[in-house]
Chain A
C-alpha cells in the first residue's frame, strides 16, 4: 500500500479530501451500462410521442433502460413515465401466472396457460354457435355474432391489432373497440 502522505502530495490533494481517500470500490467505479452484453433499440410504451429507448442487457436481464440519443423525436430525452419504464417492465407488480375466477367465486385460482386458452376457445365457440345472426328481418345478410366484444388496442403493436381484427372479423365479431374513443 502506498503511503497516504506521499499519495496526497503526489496528487496535489493536500487536505486528503480527494482521490487519496478514494476506496477501492470508488477507484473501480464504472457505469453498469459498460458491462452490458447487448443493447436493444426500443420505443417508449406510454404516450404516442414515440421517444426512442435503449434497453441494456446483461446475462439476459435488463440492467438499464434509458433514452436513445439517436432519435430525431426525443434526442435521448424521456419524460418521468418514460424514465420509469425500467420499473414498468421489471417491477415486482407484474403477474406471471394465469389466474382464473370461477362463476360466483371469491378467490383467484392459478391455472395452466394451455388449459386457460382451451377454455377461452371453447367459450368463444359456444357463444358464437348459440348466438349467430345470419340475416336480419328483411333478409339482409348479417353473418355475425353480437355475443362477444373486444376492447383495447392503443397500447398494443400494429401487428397485434392486425391479428385481433383479422381473427375476430373472420369469426363474425363486430364489436371491436379501443381507446381511440376514450
Chain B
C-alpha cells in the first residue's frame, strides 16, 4: 500500500463501507475476525450493495455474502490479475481518473523487460546476488540509479540506499497508446491471466469469475464505488505485498481510491498494531516511518538526510521530522554542531526482523530477550525453532497477564513433555512480570483506520502488576543509574543524554502517559508548548517531536485522542471522535473524490471539493491535500519538496503525486504483481517456469526443512491456518477466559467429507497432521464448508487449522504454528502461513516420534537453476552448520 499510494495505512474507515456499492472481502474473514466492523458491511448489503467473499474456505463471512468465491489458497494474484485483464479488455476502467491520478500514462525505460519475456523474471535479476537490480523499472528520462528500499517498507531487507532523485515521469502519453507506457505494459503483463487461466489456477469456474469481475466494473465510476477489504489472508504469503499491490491496481483502474465507499481497508488483529508500526517497535524504522540509518551508506547525518529526503513530494520535509525527533530524544544535547546527535543512533547491516532474531538466538548471539504482550512460542511459525531459540538465551523477560507458553517454555513445551529436553538442562533465566490491563493505565491505541483513541485508567493495578510504560520508564532510570560513572565513554552518551524526565503521578509514581503523548505530538523547545501539527515542525532545532505523523494529537494541549463527541452529534465521518493521523484525515487521498477541476465526481459520491469562492478545499472530511492549493496549480521545473505537488496530484506522499499502477521503485520483487506459487504447493506454476517468488526469504537450515515445491508425495494436502471469532490470536487473551473457552473448547482441523472418506477421518475423532517441521493432533470437524478443488482434472484437498491453542489455559490443544516453516515475503519479512502442504492421518499423535523417509532432493524443481544458486548469505539467513545435537 505504501508503494502504491504513499502510506501504509488503510485508506478508509470501516464505517464508510455503508457507502459502498460493492465490497470485495479477500484475504480476510471479516465477519469472524472483525464482527463489529462487519456491521457496516451488513448495512451496505441491506442497502443493496453486493458483498463478495473470495476465500478458500466457506466461513461466517461467506455465509452472509452475496457471493462466495472459493479460490485455492495462494492463487490470489491470478484471480486479481484476471480482473485487471478483464477491466482492460472490456475497457471498463475509469479513464479520466486513470489518466490524471495514476501513473498509467508514464513511459518506462527502454531496458525494462517483463516476466512474459523472461520466463517469470523481470529485467535486472542478479543471479550472483540473488536479487533484483531495479534500475530498468524506472521512468524513462529519470536518473536510472535505483532508489533505496521502500521508505515505508517494514523490513528494508537491503541495506542499500542510493540518492533519491525526483521520481516524476518525464515522459507521459495521456492517450495511453505508447508501447512503453505503464498502461500498455500492464496489458501485456496480464494478457495471459484469462478467465480460463483463473479456472485452472484458482479452481473456480470461469462463469463465477466473470460475475465477480462484472459486478466490480459495474459498481465503479462516477456514480458508484467499490471497496476492497483484506487482512492477514493476504499478507501472510511469500508474495503478500504483491497481493495488496494487485488490489491497488484494480482500485486505481476503477477509480475507487480516495472516494466514499472506496479504497482498500487493511483489517488488523491487535488493538494497536497500526500504532506499533507508526511508532514502531520495529527494527527498520524510527517513529513516523523514518528509516533507521544503514551502516553501509548512512555514514553521517548529511548523507543520511540526502539519501532519505526526496526532492519532490512530501518527503522533501524529511529533515524537519528527523531533527525534531532527535530533539525529542536527546534534548539540549542535540545541537547543530554535533549533527543533532545523529551518531547516537545504532545502524543496520541487513534484515534484523523477528525470524532472523530467532535464528540468531538459536545460533547463540542473542543473550537477552524481552517479550511484551506476545506469545511467540504459540503465535509464531515453527514453534519448535522458536523454543529452541528461547533455550539458548541467557535470560528472558516476559510481560503478560498470566504465565504464557513463552514464559513457561522450559517447563511444559511439547519438547519437554515428550522428554526430549529436561528443565534441568535449560540454562535460560526467566523473569515473569505481570502486566497491567488497559483498564489499569492511561494510553492510546491506534486502530485499523489510523485512529488514536485514549483509554483512561479506571483502577490501580494489583500487586506487582504494572504497565509497560512504568516498566520501561523505571528500567531506563535504573540503566541511567548503572551507567552514571561511565559517561566518559562515548558509547554511553546516548544513555546520559536521553530525555527521561517524565512527570509521575498516583500512588505508584507512574509516568504520565499524557506527558509522553505531549512529546510524541511535539512542542516548541523554548516554551514546551505543543505544536499544532507537523507543518509547524522546524529543522533548526527549535521544535521537538517524537513522531511527526502523530503531530497534532495533542494540539492546544488538549488530548485529541480522548475526544468523544457522540456519533449522533456529527456526520458519518465523525471527525470529533478521537484523532486520526495525518492531521485528523479519515479518508486518505480524498482529493481524488473530486475530478481534476475540483468538483465532486458525482453528487452521490461527494466528499471533498474545491471551493472557488473561499479558494480552499472543503468537505465532510478534512482534505488530505494542501488545503489552499487550487486544482489549476502546476509546479515549475525548479520546484522542490511539496511545491512539486500539482493541483491534480491526490497522492501527496508519492514523489510524483500519482497512484502507482507500476512501481518504478520501492519493491524488491517486481514492479507489477506476478503469480508465483507458495514455497510449498500442490501444483507447478501454471503461468511461468519460475515456480516461486525468486526474491522470497528462505532459511535453509536443518531445523527449518521445506517440502518439495509441489507434488510432494509425503505431503499431498494443502493446508491453511486462520482464527475464529471466539478466540484471539495465540490465545493469550482468550484461552484463560471461561466465557470464550466454552465456545471453542478444543483444537480442531476442518476437512471435507471427501477427504474424511479418503483418510478415514471421523467427525469428532482425532487426526494427526504432519509436516517436516512438526506434527500435531487435533479433533476432526468434517464439514462441507471445506471443498475439494478441481484443477487440471485433478482433485486437491485442503485442510483448515485454527491456531489459537497450546499447552496452557482453560482449554488446550496443539499449536498449528508448529507445522509452519520460516519463509517470508522479501519486502516486509512477513511469514507464509496461509498456504503450505501437509499430511493428515486418523488417530492421535503417535508416542513414537514419526521419522520421515528421506526423498532424493528435488529442490532444483522449485526454481530455475539461476534462481536456485542464490548465495547462502542472502536474506540474512546463515548457512547452517550441522553440529552434533544441534538438530
Residues of A within 8 A of B (CB): 38, 40-53, 55, 57, 60-62, 65, 68-75, 77-84, 87-89, 91, 93-106, 108, 112-113, 116-125, 127, 131-132, 134, 136, 140-167, 169-182
Contact present for A125 and B283 (CB under 8 Å):
no
User: What 0/1 readout, one digit per residue, does chain B (507-534) give for beta carbons within 8 Å of chain A?
Assistant: 0000101001101100000000000000
Q: Could you say which of A78, A98, A124, A140 contacts B296, with CB atoms under 8 Å apart? A: A140
* Residue of B35, B368, B401, B491 most packed against chain A (CB within 10 A): B368
Contact present for B367 and A127 (CB under 8 Å):
yes
What are 17 sample pairs from A and B whose C-beta atoms fall under 8 A apart?
A: A42-B455, A43-B454, A45-B455, A68-B564, A73-B15, A81-B725, A81-B726, A81-B734, A96-B462, A101-B410, A106-B411, A141-B299, A153-B374, A170-B495, A177-B282, A178-B276, A182-B354
Q: How far is the CB of A165 from chain B (nearest CB, A)?
A: 6
Q: Is the interface of A mostly helix, strand, loop or mixed?
A: mixed
Residues in A whose Cβ lies below 8 Å from that of B15? 72-73
* Residue of A38, A77, A120 most packed against chain B (CB within 10 A): A120
Q: Could you say which of B295, B401, B465, B483 contacts A125, with CB atoms under 8 Å apart? A: B483
Contact present for B346 and A174 (CB under 8 Å):
yes
CA A86 to CA B737, docked complex, whole Å: 10
Q: Tally of A-B residue pairs with Cβ under 8 A? A: 493
Contact present for A103 and B564 (CB under 8 Å):
no
**Is B620 in contact with chain A by the CB < 8 A criterion?**
no
Contact present for A160 and B273 (CB under 8 Å):
no
**Is B463 in contact with chain A by the CB < 8 A criterion?**
yes
**Is B694 in contact with chain A by the CB < 8 A criterion?**
no
CA A65 to CA B372, docked complex, whole Å: 25
Interface size on B, residues (CB 8 A): 167
Q: Could you say which of B276, B349, B360, B466 contacts A142, with CB atoms under 8 Å apart? A: B349
Known: A82-B36, A150-B372, A158-B445. A96 touches B434 (CB 8 A): yes
Residues in A whose Cβ lies below 8 Å from that of B433? 98, 113, 116
Residues in B whose Cβ lies below 8 Å from that of A164? 281, 372, 468, 472
Residues in A whose Cβ lies below 8 Å from that of B33? 47
Known: A45-B437, A80-B740, A158-B443. A96 touches B463 (CB 8 A): yes
Measured CB to CB, the nearest residue on chain A to B375 is A152
Given contacts A47-B269, A53-B455, A180-B277, could you give 20 more A-B pairs where the C-beta distance is less than 8 Å? A42-B458, A62-B458, A70-B568, A71-B564, A81-B733, A99-B407, A104-B423, A116-B433, A127-B368, A150-B372, A152-B370, A152-B371, A154-B269, A155-B271, A160-B443, A163-B476, A167-B500, A171-B494, A182-B379, A182-B830
Measured CB to CB, the nearest residue on chain A to B10 is A48
CA A104 to CA B410, docked complex, whole Å: 9
Q: Which of B307-315, B424-432, B647-655 is found at the contact surface with chain A?
A: B424-432
Q: How far is the CB of A160 from chain B (nearest CB, A)?
A: 4
Residues in A whose Cβ lies below 8 Å from that of B432? 95, 98-101, 108
* Residue of B346, B432, B547, B743 most packed against chain A (CB within 10 A): B346
Contact present for A160 and B472 (CB under 8 Å):
yes
User: What 0/1 readout, one digit per residue, does chain B (435-453) give for beta carbons within 8 Å of chain A?
Assistant: 0011111011111110111
Contact present for B283 and A175 (CB under 8 Å):
yes
Q: Which of B1-36 contact A (CB under 8 A)?
A: 13-15, 33-36
CA A100 to CA B403, docked complex, whole Å: 11
Known: A103-B429, A151-B354. A165 touches B456 (CB 8 A): no
7 closest A-B pairs by CB: A157-B443, A96-B463, A50-B447, A153-B281, A144-B346, A154-B270, A72-B574
Residues in A whose Cβ lies below 8 Å from that of B278? 158
Residues in B whose Cβ lies below 8 Å from that of A145? 346
Q: How far is the CB of B864 from chain A (nearest CB, A)?
A: 29
Contact present for B369 and A151 (CB under 8 Å):
yes
Contact present for A153 and B401 (CB under 8 Å):
no
Q: Could you say which of A88, A120, A131, A160 contacts B431, with CB atoms under 8 Å apart? A: A120
Q: How far is the CB of B565 from chain A (nearest CB, A)?
A: 8
Q: How far is the CB of A105 from chain B (nearest CB, A)?
A: 7
CA A104 to CA B463, docked complex, whole Å: 27
